[in-house]
Amino acid sequence: MAVVSRLWRGGAAVCSPAMMWLSLAMDARFSTSLGPPKTRDPGGRGVHWVFLGCPGVGKGTYASRLSQLLGVPHISTGDLVREELASSGPLAQQLAGIVNHGQLVSNEIIMSLLTKRLEHGETKVESGFILDGFPRTIRQAEILEGVTEIDLVINLKLREDALLAKCLGRRICSHCGGNYNVASVNIKGENGRLDFIMAPLLPPADCASKLITRVDDTEEVVKERLRIYNEMSKPVEEFYRARGKLLEFDLPGGIPESWPKLLQALNLVDHDDKQSASA
């Protein structure tokens, strides 16, 4: 509960300087080059990482993979909103109107949902976290900074034409809740050759007939969501860039192309190899 009460009060940051840094790597731009990141601090806690990026860029996919790799919880504000929408909770009806019109959920609602999730994490004595989709505003970043030290902020980038196609191809299995993408993105360059390839993420046979489209994944809503996000994201990016914690990673394609390069940028290739060997 101490974390939650501090979250609402905000206030000045009380943390020591960041302890995790990145080496420069292909497809990544980092604001400093003071060395590679660590996956645990000297006190033994897990990483405190944040994923930024446009809606639909793949924050959840890569945050979830890193969560499993590093053994820390993945907390997605998007998932928190969808869970509330599916419930009969007091915010469900209000959220439905906001999401269906492509608007961003207010600070107050996000903070309420995140507070409840942090309370749950405290009861389970969780160590570390990877936040996905939070913070979205300078105020949220300031509140978070006053609660805990953020070690690293990973800002995923994807060209807009590929991003739009990817968003429109998203599907969810109505039975198991699995996330898939039916879009096959093949974008040609000026020379007529394929410049960008992103293969679909197809469901298993059991889920193929149960796929549904999210109500907010229409072209009009997606474009409006991207416009709003781009206006709001720049100050947050600058907030973390000024603190030497921002990694900008340009996705070169789908998961097969991007995942190894992201691990390289995070200096986690050896970590992944060890986990694969022990599996």
Neighbouring residues of 65: CB distance < 8 A, sequence distance ≥ 6: 259
> Shortest CA distance to 272 belongs to which of 39, 26, 44?
39
Could you report the per-residue pLDDT of 148-198, keeping only the tens digit for each? 789 999 999 999 899 999 999 999 999 998 889 999 998 887 787 878 888
* Whole-number Å distance between alpha carbons of 82 and 192: 40
CA nearest neighbour of 156 among 243, 83, 49, 72: 49
- Domains of the chain in start order, with CATH, are 2-11+20-159+229-259 (3.40.50.300)
Q: Which residue has the tokens 């979830």?
A: 64
CA atoms of 246 and 13, how far apart (whole Å): 18
pLDDT-derived band at 121, boundaries 50, 70, 90: confident
Mean pLDDT of 101-122: 80
Q: Which residues are catalytic?
A: 59, 136, 170, 214, 225
Lowest model confidence (mean pLDDT) among 2-6, 12-16, 106-110: 12-16
Whether the CB-CB separation of 181 and 169 falls below 8 Å is answered with yes
Helix, strand, coil distribution of the chain in percent, nearest 5: 45, 15, 40
Q: For the range 35-40, what are the long-range contacts, defined as Cβ-Cβ under 8 Å and sequence gap of 24 or more?
A: 36/267, 37/151, 37/152, 37/266, 37/267, 37/268, 39/70, 39/268, 39/271, 40/128
* Residue 201, strand partner residues: 181
- Name the pTM for this structure: 0.74
For 201-253, write each residue's pLDDT tens digit.
899 999 999 999 988 888 999 899 889 888 888 999 999 999 999 999 999 99
SS3 185: strand
In this structure, are residues 58 and 250 in contact, taking their beta carbons and an 8 Å threshold?
A: no
Which alpha helices (DSSP H) does the chain contain, by range? 2-9, 59-70, 77-86, 92-100, 107-123, 138-147, 160-168, 205-208, 219-241, 255-265, 269-278
pLDDT at position 5 over 80: no
Four-residue CA torsion sign, 268, 273, 275, 276: positive
Which of 24-33, 107-116, 136-145 is modeled with the greatest confidence?
136-145
